[in-house]
Amino acid sequence: MGLEQGIKEKWVNAAYSEFAMAGPDFSLKALSEKNKLPRASLYYHFDSKEALLEELFSLHKEKINDYVIELESKVKNLIPDLYEVIYSHKEGILFHRQLLLHSEKEDFYSLYKSANERAFTVLLPQIKGLFPSSSSNEEFIQFYHTLTDAWYIRLDPNQFTVKSMIDLAMDIMENTLGLFSGSVSPKNK
């Protein structure tokens, strides 16, 4: 990798981390200072902040692929396996959370929703195993979208542990199960 490519990658990685914590309104000047990257090099690699965001979305799509592969191979029991995988992808999960928190931007919400659809496809058998119901797969997926959105909104980046994430998920499930006509409670509580 050439020096210029290395600097571009540093900008992308630094911006990805910053987006994960602060959302899309991060300051390029502050990002430059915090990561000791020459600001002029940003404009050598990216025409604008929007071009940098496009690069972040590409990186996030790669991270989503890795996440889905890991879900397929490691989630044998939804609880705790899912949350252990989530924990190992903390930065990507926090980036994903920012997509939802800024879902008024169509491209943000589109990426958030499409990534969730991929994960739900993998997790559907596990999800259905938790809830006794005769509901269709589409109904389960819609219900799980509701649970997932609530989970991301309430997720505290400063309390990012497997236990805290499971507790949050259980609290949300207990408080929203009435919304899902086909279920009563998680079997494996």
User: Model-level pTM?
Assistant: 0.89
Distance CA 57, CA 114 (A): 12
Distances (CA, A) of 167 to 16, 54, 78, 152, 189: 27, 34, 13, 13, 11
List per-residue pLDDT tens for the chain, 189 residues long. 555 668 999 999 999 999 999 999 999 999 999 999 998 899 999 999 999 999 999 999 999 999 999 999 999 999 999 999 999 999 999 999 999 999 999 999 999 999 999 999 999 888 887 776 777 888 888 888 888 999 999 999 999 999 999 999 989 988 876 554 444 344 444
**C-beta atoms surrounding 65 within 10 Å:** 12
Distance CA 105, CA 146 (A): 19
User: What are the boundaries of each domain within the chain?
Assistant: 3-179
Show the tokens assigned to 118.
Answer: 């991929």
CATH classification (class only), 3-179: mainly alpha
Handedness of CA 74, 185, 120, 53 (dihedral sign): negative
Phi then psi for 176, rounded to 5 degrees? -120, -5
Distance CA 111, CA 104 (A): 12
